[in-house]
Amino acid sequence: MDRTTNSSGTQRTPLQQLATEAGLLVDWEDAASRPMHVADDVLRAVLHSLGLPAGTPAQVSESQARLRAEAEEVAIPPLVTGVVGQPIVLQTWAPQAALLDGQTYRVDLESGGSTEGKVSASASEHHATLRLGPVTAVGYHRLTIDAGPGTLIQATLAIAPARCYGVADALRQHKRQTDTRVWGTSAQLYGLRCGAERAASSAGLGDYTAAGALAQQLARHGADALALSPVHAMFTADARRYSPYSPSSRLFMNAWMIDPTALFGEEAVRQAVVDCNLVADYARLEAAPLIDWPASGNARMTVLRALHHRLLQAPLGDTTAQMLLDDFRAYCIDGGISLRDHAHFEALNAHLGPAHWKQWPEQYQDPSYLGVQAFAREHEDAVNFHLFLQWAATRQWALVQRTAESAGMAIGLIADLAVGTDSAGSHAWARQRDLLIGVTIGAPPDLFNAQGQDWGLTTFSPRAMRTQGFSAFIEMLRAVMAVPGGVRIDHVLGLMRLWVIPDGAQPLDGVYLRYPMHDLLRLVALESWRNRCIVIGEDLGTVPAGLRETLAEDGLLGMRILWFEREYTRDDAPFKAPHTWAPASVAMTSTHDLPTLAGWWIGNDLRWQVQLGLLPPGMNETEAYARRMDDRAALVAAFAEHNRLVLADGGVPMIGVAPLQAALEQARAANAAQAEVILQASAQDFATAATVFTGAAHTPLALVPLEDLLGLVEQPNLPSTIDTHPNWRRRLPAPAPTLLDAPTVQGRLSALANARISLS
């Protein structure tokens, strides 16, 4: 068998060489820095998902020839990225590209006008390097190169600003001091409660109107941002699939979060509930402490379907209905083919049941098939209903952002971009040539997850990204950035590489797949400015060396979480002082996947881990509780040291540090039952102190989850669980309009605001 040799001198087989050229990391290091090697079967499966069959030696040779031919035949890819004011350097595997040296090129600017220059090209044994002069205008421009008599080479030139739109830019946009240290909260949208006047028509689910009410309340306390759980489109016909991080499509909106009363008024919705015989169901769902997703989702859809029918039947003299219909029709025209594909999928999914679209009758397995068009004509009302849902959700989402900004928020909503989509969903069905089919994404084993993680999602193919000019990626960015003032990119590490796992395999049996990070970061920066949207990257976990620095240079804010801000190079791992936290980041007390402040203090997360067998390998219950007591002492010691520094600078000290120290001493000396009582009694004081401590970080933005502002014990999601913990089902304790009214909460909000003001 022919073999090649890598840079370390290790021989590689043709299969491994093909995998390497396709962007797979055949050799890698795990979280403990141990060298790992990917099995051939894994490489074959992932290569197949990339459109490169490798089941036999002949297929390996054919795929390698195809991959190289693709690279060598295209002198310039369909889209080239660059940074404004900087020379454009493009490496290509097409040796003939060197023949472009000295040829004339023209850049037709998006905003009008053009610029010209001459290509500078050089060649090495395997590739060519092209250089173009700087372009001084940001945007998507048209590049044309005169390649000789009668031959023109054209491409899109995406010229990005040097960094993403930032918090200072948002403040400047609102004519405020750009060095203001702003703050906000994060909330699970589905868990918000409606006001008393809408309780009878809420079906026990939060909605976009409740988010607007919460934004108004937060703004009154000085908040500038409200980060929400993902609002991506789900499987409307199957409310059992309700994890917000496992959407059907990231291009469209969650229809379950629509507020029917915002469209039709409270009386019309109450009447629809009566007409649909859902009065008792709505009352039961509103009274339930946890969300019953199948019941609530179906109940809300039933009422929306009835109201949609009523809208279509409105008499011509009903001017309000006609205005809604006119706006709806305009939205459908603007939405184009992507919107129609999504509506077709939703109607098909409701008609055919919950099976994966690959198991549908063949005539429905691709949106371009004539069978899909025939189905859409035969089920026009169903398709129209799903178009209506997207129109309603999109308009209400935009109204929430306008409400937040009108209330005084500089940023307003921060949307959450899930790392991928369900392979059985609308996006994968409609974009089969752009997404990875046959693999899921996740994470290899690490210190926190010994078995690794399989998220059950798929995402874009990097090979398709290049060949298709990044069109699907840009479409997604525009969809998620169009409305909110910010976006959080879940697992931002995926812009550099993703752990992909063949369908049916264990998480360990995966491989890292490289992505064109610099191209993607430039597109993120370009779209963030076009949409005036700040960008936060969830950079937790096993982070490749240098990645955080790269993200910071490009203006993406990282996430610094209180629990993880420790000096791990020291044996006692003390908590870091807030003024030492990375400035190019968002300071946060916790996240939806981690314990709340009060829950951590009383050890509620440990009780769940013990109950469900989720303690770290080799750790027993006694050791876990002893370690937590040490961690409490270390964090309170950090509070005390921060207090000392604040007092030395003449600042306002934190409240309650001495009582927390006393409570810890008492808890250490008490038995388990007594210690629990002592910790319970001091949990709210701890939540306030930890909030202020985090708020003192020298970062442009601080986000405190709503659960921490309210002093709640339970966290929204417990990783590594599905049915054993009520993930994504918890409801907040009071309606959004009055949620922040309790004196303890008001005091915590005031303390957080003061901590941020003192930094400005």
Given pLDDT bands bounded at 50, 70 and 90, which one contains residue 2? Answer: very low
Range 274-299 burial, b when 16+ CB lie within 10 A, else e: eeeebeebbeebbeeeebbbebbbbb
Is the residue at 716 inside a domain? yes
> Cα–Cα distance between 738 and 700 in angstroms, integer?
28
> Cα–Cα distance between 756 and 537 in angstroms, integer?
22
Given pLDDT bands bounded at 50, 70 and 90, which one contains residue 730? Answer: very high
Cα three-residue angle 698-703-709, rounded to 5 degrees: 120
Q: What is the pLDDT of residues 87-108, one digit of tens each?
A: 999 988 777 788 889 999 999 9
> Cα–Cα distance between 704 and 539 in angstroms, integer?
17
Torsion of CA 382, 384, 390, 393, to 10 degrees: -90
The whole-number pLDDT of residue 10 equals 63
The whole-number pLDDT of residue 124 equals 78
Given pLDDT bands bounded at 50, 70 and 90, which one contains residue 562? Answer: very high
What's the mean per-residue pLDDT of the chain?
94
- Whether the CB-CB separation of 215 and 404 falls below 8 Å is answered with yes
The residue type at 490: D
Any residues with CB less than 8 A from the CB of 718 and at least 6 apart, and which? 593, 605, 608, 612, 614, 725, 727
Strand 497-502 and strand 511-514: the pairing is: antiparallel
**Residue 150 corresponds to which tokens in the numbers above?**
């009668």
> Cα–Cα distance between 518 and 81 in angstroms, integer?
8
Range of the domain at 248: 167-328+395-413
Q: What is the mean pLDDT of residues 471-497?
A: 97
> What is the percent of the chain where pLDDT is above 70?
98
Q: Are 113 and 125 in a shared domain?
A: yes
Q: What is the pLDDT of residues 9-40, one digit of tens each?
A: 568 899 999 999 999 999 998 877 889 999 99
Given pLDDT bands bounded at 50, 70 and 90, which one contains residue 1? Answer: very low
Radius of gyration from C-alpha coordinates of the chain:
27
Is the residue at 271 inside a domain? yes
> Cα–Cα distance between 564 and 547 in angstroms, integer?
18
Q: Are 178 and 102 in a shared domain?
A: no
Could you give the number of structural domains in the chain? 4
Q: Give the CA distances from residue 9 to residues 12, 17, 23, 543, in Å, rounded to whole numbers and listed in that order.
A: 9, 13, 19, 27
Residue 47: how many CB atoms within 10 A of its CB? 23
- The answer on pLDDT for 447 being more than 80 is no
Q: Are 114 and 178 in a shared domain?
A: no
- Which position has the higher pLDDT, 317 or 591? 591
Q: Are 84 and 208 in a shared domain?
A: no
Q: What is the mean pLDDT of residues 113-117?
A: 95
- Whether the CB-CB separation of 261 and 209 falls below 8 Å is answered with yes
Q: Are 590 and 614 in a shared domain?
A: yes
Q: What is the pLDDT of residues 44-102, one digit of tens each?
A: 999 999 999 999 999 999 999 998 888 777 778 999 999 999 999 998 877 778 888 99
The whole-number pLDDT of residue 150 equals 79
Q: Are 28 and 120 in a shared domain?
A: no
Q: Give the CA distances from residue 701 to residues 64, 166, 756, 759, in Å, rounded to whole numbers and listed in that order.
A: 48, 10, 9, 11
Q: Which of 354, 381, 413 is the last residue of a domain?
A: 413
Could you tell me how many residues make up the chain? 760
Single out the residue of 516, 515, 492 nearest to residue 417, CA to CA: 492
Alpha helices in 313-434 (DSSP H): 319-352, 370-378, 380-406, 426-430
> Cα–Cα distance between 186 and 469 in angstroms, integer?
34
Q: Are 565 and 622 in a shared domain?
A: yes
Q: Which of 413, 441, 476 is the last residue of a domain?
A: 413
Is the residue at 336 inside a domain? no
Q: Are 67 and 79 in a shared domain?
A: no
Crossing angle of the two packed helices 621-648 and 604-612, in degrees rounded to 10: 160
> What is the percent of the chain where pLDDT is above 90?
86
Backbone angles phi, psi at 50, to 5 degrees: -90, 5
Q: Give the CA distances from residue 202 to residues 231, 393, 612, 727, 739, in Å, rounded to whole numbers and listed in that order.
A: 17, 15, 33, 20, 17
Q: Which residues pair with 545 in a beta bridge?
A: none
- Which position has the higher pLDDT, 6 or 142? 142
Backbone angles phi, psi at 241, to 5 degrees: -100, 85
Q: What is the pLDDT of residues 211-235, one digit of tens each?
A: 999 999 999 999 999 999 999 999 9
- Which position has the higher pLDDT, 148 or 706? 706
For 445: left if phi > 0, alpha if psi spans -120 to 50, otherwise beta; the answer is beta
Q: Are 732 and 695 in a shared domain?
A: yes
Given pLDDT bands bounded at 50, 70 and 90, which one contains residue 415? Answer: very high
Q: Are 639 and 731 in a shared domain?
A: yes
- The answer on pLDDT for 195 being more than 50 is yes
> Cα–Cα distance between 292 and 276 in angstroms, integer?
19
Q: What is the mean pLDDT of residues 508-517?
A: 96
The whole-number pLDDT of residue 316 equals 81
Single out the residue of 388, 409, 367 nearest to residue 701, CA to CA: 409
Across 147-237, the runs of DSSP E, i.e. the strands, are 152-160, 182-187, 225-228, 232-233
DSSP code string of 162-175: SS---HHHHHHHTT
Single out the residue of 225, 218, 211 nearest to residue 700, CA to CA: 225
Range 138-160 burial, b when 16+ CB lie within 10 A, else e: bbebebbbbbeeeeebebbbbbb
Q: Are 119 and 40 in a shared domain?
A: no
Is the residue at 472 inside a domain? no
> Cα–Cα distance between 111 and 597 in angstroms, integer?
50
Q: What is the pLDDT of residues 635-663, one digit of tens each?
A: 999 999 999 988 888 777 787 899 999 99
Q: Which of 362, 379, 413 is the last residue of a domain?
A: 413
Given pLDDT bands bounded at 50, 70 and 90, which one contains residue 681? Answer: very high
Q: What is the mean pLDDT of residues 344-370?
A: 96
Crossing angle of the two packed helices 279-287 and 293-312, in degrees rounded to 10: 140
Is residue 497 within a helix (H) or strand (E), and if so which, with residue range?
A: strand 497-502
**Residue 88 corresponds to which tokens in the numbers above?**
């454009």
Is the residue at 47 inside a domain? yes
Is the residue at 686 inside a domain? yes
Q: What is the pLDDT of residues 261-303, one digit of tens each?
A: 999 999 999 999 999 999 999 999 999 999 999 999 999 999 9
Is residue 249 within a helix (H) or strand (E), and if so which, with residue range?
A: strand 249-253
pTM of the entire predicted model: 0.96
The whole-number pLDDT of residue 73 equals 76
> Cα–Cα distance between 707 and 716 in angstroms, integer?
9
Q: Give the CA distances from residue 716 to residues 89, 209, 712, in Å, rounded to whole numbers and listed in that order.
A: 46, 21, 10
> Cα–Cα distance between 97 and 112 in angstroms, integer?
28
User: CATH no. for residue 152?
Assistant: 2.60.40.10
Is the residue at 285 inside a domain? yes
Q: Which residues pair with 90 in a beta bridge?
A: 130
Q: What is the pLDDT of residues 197-211, one digit of tens each?
A: 888 889 999 999 999
Q: Are 36 and 121 in a shared domain?
A: no
Q: Is 456 helix (H, G, I), strand (E, B) or coil?
A: strand
Q: Which of 150-159, 306-315, 597-606, 647-656 has the highest mean pLDDT?
A: 597-606
- The answer on pLDDT for 4 being more than 70 is no
Alpha helices in 482-536 (DSSP H): 517-530
- Whether the CB-CB separation of 425 and 398 falls below 8 Å is answered with no
Is the residue at 55 inside a domain? yes
